[in-house]
Amino acid sequence: MAIIKFSWEEFDAAADMIADEIKSKGLLKKFTHIYGIPRGGLPLAVALSHRLDKFVTTDSINVFRISARHILVVDDISDTGKTLKEINPDLSATIHMVEDTNFRPTIHIFLKNRGDWIEYPWEGKKD
């Protein structure tokens, strides 16, 4: 198993790529809010809200109630896909995706090998 350290610079670049892909695919008008799945999706939700001029919602009850329509649901990774599959959003984005995940997000930037572990910068681990 490899441990992959993902830096803030890489995170910013990935957020830029997600924002650019949303714009290029004409998805910007399909949602009014961004919901970040706690904890890993929260930094991405805030970063995208600034890049796309959209509101962040932290009301998970509403996200589930309205079947995540008109909401972009984001997370750091779709690994097993369990969390994203429970919400079943119309639009979703992740930084990483495992190829055999049970939920394929609308947008993902990088594929991750099943055995690797990604250490994101907000996880607070020190060298």
More confidently predicted of 96 and 58: 96
The mean per-residue pLDDT over the stretch 103-107 comes to 96
Helices (H), the chain: 8-24, 41-52, 60-65, 82-87
Question: Could you give the domains of the chain?
Answer: 3-118 (3.40.50.2020)
Q: What is the pTM of this model?
A: 0.90
pLDDT in tens, 51-94: 999 999 887 766 666 555 688 999 999 999 999 998 888 899 99
| C-alpha pair distances (Å), 86 with each of 18, 19, 83, 125 | 22, 24, 5, 29
